[in-house]
Structure 1
């Protein structure tokens, strides 16, 4: 055992021991340990296997930068970094990409064939004779962790939207100082850090701030922030910056609780994200036992674990000296191999100046290193410090551009980004902020230590994806000189750590190979998320009704009292039919009663989206396929709304109340979507000071009176207006009064009968419904459910979007060509309607279908077929099919190829194994002249 516990460790509670298993082996630790720190203390050297060659890998880092120690934790936590997973009693932890264990992986033999499987070998090897011969086995070998299929479904993750004046990312000294200054200036502040407590480097590096130890100062400042009302989120990673300074935060759940997703919009952002230590390139630098020097310091001071007994610390900078001193003080035998010739010698530590490590020696783990002068040093642990890389990911996501600094050999934020400030190590300042620094500070002085071409041993650039210097040389030799191309050809930086430790060394090697400077090579694109975020967090509470909340009518209880049978339609719980008995008989009876007398229907879910303003008319001309600006006040017009692809998105009636006020009455299931579409285009193309949108759907109920006796019933309920065809013709809208409250009455019909839609404030709907029910008794008024309504509209050939259309339906498929031919102004989808696909002669078109085989109602979904050379192909399908009580025969609607030009043709339809025959007819099967609308 090379590592051991000391008496220290500020993150652990030694009074609370715990145990878990790793690959079946019992690992002991303490509350506060990470899985990684407990493994290190327990002497586990091989924690995983590399992706490609299955080489043994040990711990490299102590945080998000860790490329090797990915583990599966039973219970639904695959591919988790052991450095970020809290050790808990009874955890069952397994290494990934290894079988049966990381220590003894049966696929380790692959490394012996590494010379035959260099970068991109799969592109060249498996094309012959046929990729599909190799694909199943390759897919089986691909991937890292495995999902625990026995794990319970993740609990619903909470999602929080938050606004603040200042968001500070990173609770190290610079972040704490920025947050404290803002709070004292009266700003609303959010401070987040991926550590379990505020402090950052102050938790493991020695510092004195304002007369107090650094860790104590950090704790005091965090307490001051919380007391002042700031939101301090520990265990929380800012994983992405999006448009308009929207920042996504992933807050780790504690003790099995799900992660929480924060969406924070801040007036300004301070990035104090720190820096990541870079590996040193030398032969076999991937062996277990080779670790980041800073990680070793973290394990020592935070978890009380000394990484090794005989330690070689290789460094090209001065920040690693603190690690050497601390390990030596803890009892380790430490030798510094300092690449610099003028290095400072820490007390009690042997220093070899001006030398470099050329090769690590060992098989399953490092046991010695060879130096540039030929010296071999025995070592059970090698700590490497190749400098520090500022964590600029979020800055780059905010469209920041990087500059190269030769004095620190790293990329740093360059141009200013509005509303974003980068401070501390993230900006390339590796000492304490000037306002806090006491004493001489830290000596960073760095010399270059980049990978060199032509090395005899393998020098590992990307540890997780097994990318070596030779792979980069091969890519450049094959003329991949763009950094983005090299990334994809070699998979450099494409592992789950996203190249946090590998990218700059890869860029330096490319620069050497192509005769360029590192900044000329450039960097790859930084994309969110910075670290993986559980999918459950993105899903949040969206499952079942949480995913699609069930919407309810204001009059649901009254409908239930009337014997309504409810079903879900487009997210709304609505009466399908009323009364006991066979459903089909009840539905037929309701449809028949509406045709012969009068019926009452609750149409409250219909859209009631108001569009107001001096530019409302031209705005709606752009939104609709039809011209709407010519609509007179007090009138209504039916129209289509299209997608940008020219497909029908919604249909409905537009009401014009006055010159500058319209009501979009869209389909019930599309209200939210149409509202979002209107708002999107208002913001994109129109002056937001001249167009305003208000969705009043939920605030208003709509009750419909329909049937030949509808006018007679309406005249008895006292709405304070005339209902004759002169005062209120079909497709007109007027205002009335019910019990002192203004109501809107529209002559709009979805049944083909004279109909009145009364829109009333939702809290007065019950009173209006009661009045209609009482008045209706004298007229034999029936109740109309949605199933009967579907029959009535199908008899008239009225379309239901999403039922009688599909994702390719366009207006011309319904015979509506005039707007495209005559409309002069631009509208959504216009250009898509003149494409080759839109003007094909064999498009599926909306028609009626009349069964001619005497076998009853056509099955919905049955396909029209044509037989060609012994084969059968689909020419369309039945979209709606019913038995019509008014016509006493089956009717159907469908989308059939060239249907509008084939009226009268008899076609075959196939449903499962049954063959049916039907005649193509116009969609309207009842009252083609529309006389009943005025009866």
Structure 2
């Protein structure tokens, strides 16, 4: 048997199944099924950590995920390290390495422990006042020290070699919590025929049955009943049982986040299996059966190693077979603590005393305690403890007294009652109600389709909780559509019905005692006096108190500390607890690893690269690529000896003089289909679509509701009920979402269907004087003459036998065509076109050349030449707004007074006085470079290039009152010089557009 503190015949683990582990380099033994916490306690180790602020010795406080102290660095081998793992939640396996955190040079001797003696200087909120002076001290003195000391644990630096998984699921009923109530609810829901997912964070179902061995259900031991029900539920085809799985978040419309630990408990995990799995579940109904969390007592020195919750001591004894001490003191304000004393007494441990803060404990537990010869001190309080690395004594006095009797102990068990675990209910946006009798918050007003049952709903009686859960399971299953009858009956009994429960106490820790530390929040070293100080400092809202003291913040989320903090603030303020307020319980319920959240989205998949169907050809022909969103786009094609500028200049000349082909596959493409397609287009775009004939195209602008330009693109009408829309490359997803949002919420009466086809079409733009000559021998069934296929036309045909949609359009200001072919044929179509184009002297060109060519023609790029505050008129596109249209998205927004006032920034062209000077994009523009600083900025440069075809630099800019400044000289201040520019039209090349219509 492993460990000196194992009690023969106790617990549910198999003595023959042992495992080796190390703690801070020390080799120890444990039993399979142990948690790290139980394994340490079995080896007599209570010192587990150092506190965050004061670096006080800390021990294991709980047996659940609410553990605030025993946070360890857990590793299997190099690269498989995880900090801040809660000792009760981590299962032991052979070879696990456990390392304590936040101590130096060792856990037993931490140099940071000096902070404990400097505690009077570290009162709550001290950092708001201490680091204000001298002025430069924060940057050079305080910040480096604070950043070095802050945080819990050390993030691993090696690449995580494990992989993680993600799964989506739907169910009729999801049950959160696998205790007695959760099992009963799942049985009832499943019995009606509903699909059920039952989730619990522990390795086995059972909840409170882990520690409460006095419960009998259906005539058998409670934990054995839970095991049998697990087997029964797991065998049902309509039930999924997930253990080692935490419900960490409850989001809108019954969307539930689950984190499943798949292999973290295995000594030799299958490397093909994920380490953890993220479940994203949409449930028709949710039953919350998350139980309750035992509250600690607040008294001076309540944080020493060896002091823990009474239920935790019962768990370690009854489930793991480990005694937490041999001379045990119990400090209680609730009957449940007595049962811990009874169990330990029966296991041979000496109960030194039960100190009950109440005047009237439950008669049944009091009678049994005295019958066992246990000293019960009613109406008393623990006013202090002693012990360095483990508690050695407690001082007990009559309630309110300042001195009392010293009692030798090596462990103290405490309980001030139970706090319903309402975290998930609160995350669902439900409103809590205060139960004044028991000093607790309970689920009140529901916001989603869920029900709370059992202890988390304040239902205290065991049989009452079971009946409530069965009723809820049947009700929620039928609400989700199940039609069967529920025949589940469960009969249960337990030794005692509990009474009592209070917020806690802080006897012996007066507000003026600088050194007495009665801890409310163990994780953040928040004491009762810190709460009182916050109130004296003027913090009257619990949210302000929380932030001033850090009580209940971060990973704790108030599990242990929240009610205590509220009660102390309530006492000092002289207000009832509900008037003090309640802090927000945020997701996640317990920390979730980054690996679980991002699962496959890391490395090459963190930001997946999208490649066009023509990418391989472009790569083989020397293209230099740039990232445009997720897309890899050919930037330019340098020839040997050319730099980027030389390559782009050559490509620009070639397109204007001969032709160029360009991969435009990344353009967003959406099909709008249906009898109301034209009506929908009229509502989504500024211009009209009723008059657009099939086979013709039109440039369209899309606005947001506020009247600002959202996206643009050319739209082709393929038939009366079908439009082919193009969007900007970066705008494709948001435009699709924008249109779908309006279709579903504002225009659901329209018979229209939207389909994203970006990935379905490869697009090859052929631009330049010889574009028609290049395509003529390749196309089939299409007349390319200007009469048959004028500018802004679309026709369907074939290219070398490949189905094709051919658009007569240009973004270069030349005779142009855009060939759309199915993506699988993209490279074949490109190679066919290149085979004709190359001998003619044409070139392949990239995005940089495309930008220069379009800027020469004054064509805008939404997102570059607009900034989210530009209207169609600002961009010089008023002609694209239908003059007779009475309704479209953004029509009212664009009529707002501020959007039609004079002096707005307008898009104009700029020519530098020195034709060879190329402006920097984003550079600011002023009227007078000699004005005092800060200067008044008139606008900024949006696009700027050297134009080989124009023989000078060109630029576009948003300038206040820009069109009224034509011919004016403005200035662009740079760090080393001031550049003079002349305001001009945005079109720099072929102003009459003659080259387009040939």
TM-score (norm 1): 0.88
- Please give the residue correspondences for 1:392-791 in structure 2 after superposition, counting only pairs within 5 Å: 392-405=422-435, 408-430=438-460, 431=462, 433-434=466-467, 435-439=489-493, 442-448=496-502, 450-451=504-505, 455-456=509-510, 458-557=517-616, 568-576=627-635, 581-583=640-642, 587-613=648-674, 616=677, 620=681, 623-624=684-685, 626-629=686-689, 632-634=692-694, 635-642=696-703, 648-657=709-718, 661-687=722-748, 690-712=751-773, 714=775, 716-725=777-786, 727-736=788-797, 743-763=804-824, 765=826, 768-769=829-830, 772=833, 783-791=844-852
In 2: Cα distance, 1:645 partner to 1:767 partner: 44
TM-superposed deviation, 1:744: 3.3
TM-superposed deviation, 1:391: 1.0
- Cα 1:86/1:840, change in 2 over 3 Å: farther
TM-superposed deviation, 1:572: 2.7
Partner in structure 2 of residue 827 of structure 1: 889
In 2: Cα distance, 1:118 partner to 1:322 partner: 38
Partner in structure 2 of residue 868 of structure 1: 930
Counterpart pick for 2:185 among 178, 184, 188: 178
Partner in structure 1 of residue 949 of structure 2: 886
Contact 2:871 2:899 in 1 (8 A): no
In 1: Cα distance, 2:528 partner to 2:549 partner: 10
Unaligned ranges ≥5, structure 2: 468-488, 511-515
Three-state SS of the structure 2 residue aligned to 1:306 is coil
TM-superposed deviation, 1:850: 4.1
TM-superposed deviation, 1:606: 1.7
Q: 1:199-242, CA deviations, whole angstroms, 9 ceiling, x for partnerless residues?
A: 32233322333444333333333333333343332221111111
Partner in structure 2 of residue 372 of structure 1: 398
- Cα 1:531/1:617, change in 2 over 3 Å: farther
Q: 1:251-303, CA deviations, whole angstroms, 9 ceiling, x for partnerless residues?
A: 23534964332211111112121111011233332333221011111112333
- Cα 1:802/1:520, change in 2 over 3 Å: closer
In 2: Cα distance, 1:690 partner to 1:555 partner: 36
TM-superposed deviation, 1:831: 4.5
Moved more, 734-743 or 434-443: 734-743
In 2: Cα distance, 1:598 partner to 1:140 partner: 59
Q: 1:644-685, CA deviations, whole angstroms, 9 ceiling, x for partnerless residues?
A: 776655332233445654333101233223222333343443
TM-superposed deviation, 1:167: 1.6
Partner in structure 1 of residue 17 of structure 2: 15
TM-superposed deviation, 1:497: 1.0
TM-superposed deviation, 1:246: 0.8
Partner in structure 2 of residue 57 of structure 1: 58
TM-superposed deviation, 1:527: 1.4
Three-state SS of the structure 1 residue aligned to 2:730 is helix
Moved more, 198-207 or 571-580: 571-580
Partner in structure 2 of residue 319 of structure 1: 336
Q: Give the length in aligned residue pairs.
A: 931
Partner in structure 1 of residue 986 of structure 2: 923
- Cα 1:60/1:563, change in 2 over 3 Å: closer
Three-state SS of the structure 2 residue aligned to 1:5 is coil
Q: 1:123-165, CA deviations, whole angstroms, 9 ceiling, x for partnerless residues?
A: 4555466595475267336633243464335755333222222
In 2: Cα distance, 1:566 partner to 1:472 partner: 59
In 1: Cα distance, 2:871 partner to 2:111 partner: 58
Partner in structure 1 of residue 228 of structure 2: 220
Partner in structure 1 of residue 85 of structure 2: 80
TM-superposed deviation, 1:449: 5.4
In 1: Cα distance, 2:922 partner to 2:559 partner: 53
Contact 2:299 2:507 in 1 (8 A): no
Kindly indicate whether residue 7 of structure 2 is the aligned counterpart of residue 36 of structure 1: no
Q: 1:545-584, CA deviations, whole angstroms, 9 ceiling, x for partnerless residues?
A: 4133222333445656777665544433344456853455
Three-state SS of the structure 1 residue aligned to 2:52 is coil
Three-state SS of the structure 1 residue aligned to 2:257 is strand
Kindly indicate whether residue 350 of structure 2 is the aligned counterpart of residue 350 of structure 1: no
Contact 1:283 1:360 in 2 (8 A): yes
Q: 1:499-520, CA deviations, whole angstroms, 9 ceiling, x for partnerless residues?
A: 1112122223334444444445
Partner in structure 1 of residue 355 of structure 2: 337
Q: 1:417-454, CA deviations, whole angstroms, 9 ceiling, x for partnerless residues?
A: 54212222222234252443334564112254543699
Kindly indicate whether residue 108 of structure 2 is the aligned counterpart of residue 103 of structure 1: yes
In 2: Cα distance, 1:317 partner to 1:842 partner: 71
Three-state SS of the structure 1 residue aligned to 2:258 is strand
Contact 1:12 1:302 in 2 (8 A): no
TM-superposed deviation, 1:530: 0.8
In 2: Cα distance, 1:621 partner to 1:307 partner: 75
In 1: Cα distance, 2:111 partner to 2:809 partner: 74
In 1: Cα distance, 2:904 partner to 2:500 partner: 71
Three-state SS of the structure 1 residue aligned to 2:259 is strand
Moved more, 691-700 or 646-655: 646-655
Partner in structure 2 of residue 792 of structure 1: 853
Partner in structure 1 of residue 474 of structure 2: none
In 2: Cα distance, 1:282 partner to 1:871 partner: 61
Partner in structure 1 of residue 68 of structure 2: 67
TM-superposed deviation, 1:716: 4.6
- Cα 1:130/1:780, change in 2 over 3 Å: closer
Contact 1:409 1:448 in 2 (8 A): yes
In 1: Cα distance, 2:157 partner to 2:304 partner: 35
- Cα 1:929/1:124, change in 2 over 3 Å: same
In 1: Cα distance, 2:411 partner to 2:293 partner: 20
Three-state SS of the structure 1 residue aligned to 2:810 is coil
Alpha-carbon RMSD across the aligned residues, in angstroms, is 3.9
In 2: Cα distance, 1:155 partner to 1:911 partner: 50
- Cα 1:387/1:917, change in 2 over 3 Å: same
TM-superposed deviation, 1:308: 0.8
Moved more, 604-613 or 905-914: 905-914
In 2: Cα distance, 1:63 partner to 1:666 partner: 53
TM-superposed deviation, 1:362: 0.8
In 2: Cα distance, 1:764 partner to 1:896 partner: 45
Partner in structure 2 of residue 120 of structure 1: 125
- Cα 1:209/1:861, change in 2 over 3 Å: same
Counterpart pick for 1:232 among 233, 241, 250: 241
Contact 1:240 1:530 in 2 (8 A): yes
- Cα 1:536/1:832, change in 2 over 3 Å: farther
Moved more, 305-314 or 461-470: 461-470
Partner in structure 1 of residue 414 of structure 2: 384
Partner in structure 2 of residue 283 of structure 1: 300
- Cα 1:833/1:278, change in 2 over 3 Å: farther
TM-superposed deviation, 1:641: 4.0
Contact 1:5 1:304 in 2 (8 A): yes
